[in-house]
Amino acid sequence: MTVPRDWPTLQAIRFPKSNTLPMVLVPERCWQLIDATMASHLQVIFRAMYSCGLRGVDVRHLRPQDVDADRMMLRVCTTKGHRQREVPLPQATLDAFRAHWATHRNPNWLFPATQRNTPASKADQPISARTIQRGFTKVTESLGWQDSGLTPHTLRHSYATAMLDAGVNLKVLQGYLGHKNLQATEVYLHLTRLGDERARQIVAQIMNGDVAEQGLS
């Protein structure tokens, strides 16, 4: 039998947490998921999360005044760490916002909650996280996807990797995602589809002595 001992030194030891890479989807699958979403308001939400790299809390608390159509930017005010940021707003997402807001015209929320005996135009709360999660699960099940770790937040992760694959600067992406530390953004470098392929091309050109003749296009 082992007698319990109070070892202050052992209590001071902190084992590092295991860091697992986030689940991501390639753009083709993201759009497949969005197109397969039957509930129109959830389709707009999933489009916003993917095309603007939003967290669930970000999209839930979007207000009509956060949409800057003149500058084609989306202002994210209620976000993690209470830091405001702006992200580019694609035209298709702006059009989807306008069409959806026209269905309820709530002055406070772009995505108002569905409340019993209260019309969406007068809802005093935004859509719930549970509603978004349940809608996401429903559409992934309808597609027959069984990928481990799929959540609405996967759309934000997928946005980040798609931006890096397209050549968006890591520091710029940090600002779009609202990360306080660059390390949080750097994790997506391990998930890009094209980064490793491009690196191999560069290495091959340099080591083959082709730089002077071909250049790094």
What pLDDT is attached to residue 123?
93
The residues carrying an active-site annotation are 55, 80, 153, 156, 179, 188
* pLDDT 10s digits, 93-148: 999 999 999 999 999 999 999 888 889 999 999 999 999 999 999 999 999 999 98
* pLDDT 10s digits, 192-201: 766 556 666 6
Q: Is the pLDDT of residue 91 over 50?
A: yes
Residue matched to tokens 């694959």: 165
Q: Of 42, 171, 52, 62, which is closest to residue 108 (Cα–Cα)?
A: 62
DSSP collapsed to 3 states, the chain: CCCCCCCHHHHHCCCCCCCCCCCCCCHHHHHHHHHHCCCHHHHHHHHHHHHHCCCHHHHHCCCHHHEECCCCEEEECCCHHHCCEEEECCHHHHHHHHHHHCCCCCCCCCCECCECCECHHHCCCECCHHHHHHHHHHHHHHCCCCCCCCCCHHHHHHHHHHHHHCCCCHHHHHHHHCCCCHHHHHHHHHCCCCHHHHHHHHHHHHHCCCHHHHCCC
Average pLDDT along the chain: 85
Q: Is the pLDDT of residue 209 over 80?
A: no
- Check: CB of residue 89 under 8 Å from CB of residue 73: yes
Q: Of 27, 46, 22, which is closest to residue 36 (Cα–Cα)?
A: 46
Q: How far apart are CA 213 and CA 59, in angstroms?
A: 49
What pLDDT is attached to residue 214?
46
Residue matched to tokens 């306080």: 180
* Mean per-residue pLDDT, 191-214: 62
* pLDDT 10s digits, 42-85: 999 999 999 999 999 999 999 999 999 999 999 998 655 567 89
* Mean per-residue pLDDT, 153-170: 91
The letter for the amino acid at 101 is W
Lowest mean pLDDT among 115-119, 156-160, 189-193: 189-193
Relative orientation angle of helices 40-52 and 91-101, to the nearest 10 degrees? 150
